[in-house]
Amino acid sequence: MSTNHPEFLVVIPARLGSTRLPRKPLADIGGKPMVVRVAEQAKKSLAQSVVVATDSAEIQAACDEYRIECLLTSPDHSTGTDRLAEVAQLLKLPSNALVVNVQGDEPLIPPELINQVAQTLADHHECAISTVAVPISDDAEIQNPNVVKVVLNRNSEALYFSRATIPFTRDTELAKNITHLRHLGIYAYRADFLQAYTRLEPAPPEQAEALEQLRALWNGYRIAVHVAKETPPAGVDTSEDLERVRSLFKTT
C-alpha cells in the first residue's frame, strides 16, 4: 500500500426530499443542521476540500451560514452519482481527480474511513471506483435483504453486490471458511468515470436489486473494496436514528 496520501475532495449530496425523514439534511443536531455536522466531520479527513451538492436554496443558505462550501445543482438528478458528476463539471476537475462521496446523513462517519476509501482507489490504478465493506457473522444480518452483501476476487475487487445471501453456502461444513461482507455506502470515484456514468443506461441487475453500483460492474468498470475491521456508526434513516445521534451531540 502507498504511504503517500492521495489528493482528493469530498462531495456530500444533500436533497431536501426524503421519504422516511422529511427535510432530513436540515434536522437539528446539537444546534447545527445535520448536513453541516456531516461536512464538519468530513473536514477532519485529509480531503483538500469538502463541498455540499444540493438542489435546495435552504440547504445552501444553511451551509453559507457555517461557511461550508456548497454548490447548487440540478433538481433533476435521479442518483447521487449524477449529482457528483455535475459537481465535477462545475469545478472543472481533471479526469484523474479523486472524488469521495459521503452521504448527507452520516454525521458520525469516521474521518479515517474517508481517507481509506480514497487511498484504496489511489492504490488500485485499474479501478474506477472504490468502496468499503465490513465482515458480518450474524445470520439474521446475512439473510436480511436490507443488508447489501459483496463478494470479492483475490485482488479485493468486487465480483458482485446483492441483497441475497452471497456467497450462498451449500455445504454447512465449508461455510466455516466463508466470511460474509456487508457493503457500506461510501465511495470514491475517478472524475472521468463520473462523466462516463451519466451516459450509461440502467442495467438489468441494477434494476432487479435496486443497487446503483451494479451499473458500473455491468459495464465492465472495476470496483476496489477496502475491508474495514469495524462497522462505523450508523447513519440517520429514521426519527429513532436522529434521536440517537442527537443524544451524542448534547450541547453543554
- pLDDT, tens digit (0-9, with 9 covering 90-100), for 45-77: 999 999 999 999 999 999 999 999 999 999 888
32-36, 41-45, 158-162, 232-236: which range is least confident on average?
A: 232-236
Structural domains of the chain sorted by starting position, each given as residue range(s) with its CATH number in brackets: 8-246 (3.90.550.10)
- Would the pLDDT of 227 be above 50? yes
pLDDT of residue 249: 87
The chain-wide mean pLDDT, for the chain, equals 92
Burial class (CB in 10 A: 0-12, 13-18, 19+), 203: middle
Higher pLDDT, 133 or 2: 133
Paired with 181 in beta bridges are: 135
What percentage of the chain reaches a pLDDT higher than 70? 97
What percentage of the chain reaches a pLDDT higher than 90? 80
Q: What's the DSSP call for residue 5?
A: P
Please report which confidence band the pLDDT of residue 251 belongs to, taking 50, 70 and 90 as the band edges: low
Kind and range of the H or E run holding 119: helix 111-123
Higher pLDDT, 237 or 12: 12
The CA-atom distances, in angstroms, between 185 and each of 10, 124, 165 are 14, 19, 18
Q: What is the pTM of this model?
A: 0.92
The 10 Å CB-count burial string (b at 16+, else e) for 116-125 is bbbbbbbebe
Reported as a single tens digit per residue, the pLDDT across 83-92 is 999 999 999 9
Please report which confidence band the pLDDT of residue 20 belongs to, taking 50, 70 and 90 as the band edges: confident
pLDDT of residue 230: 86
* CA pair distance 162, 149, nearest whole angstrom: 5
Residue indicated by cell numbers 457528483: 84
Per-residue pLDDT, averaged over 31-44, amounts to 96
Reported as a single tens digit per residue, the pLDDT across 98-108 is 999 999 999 99
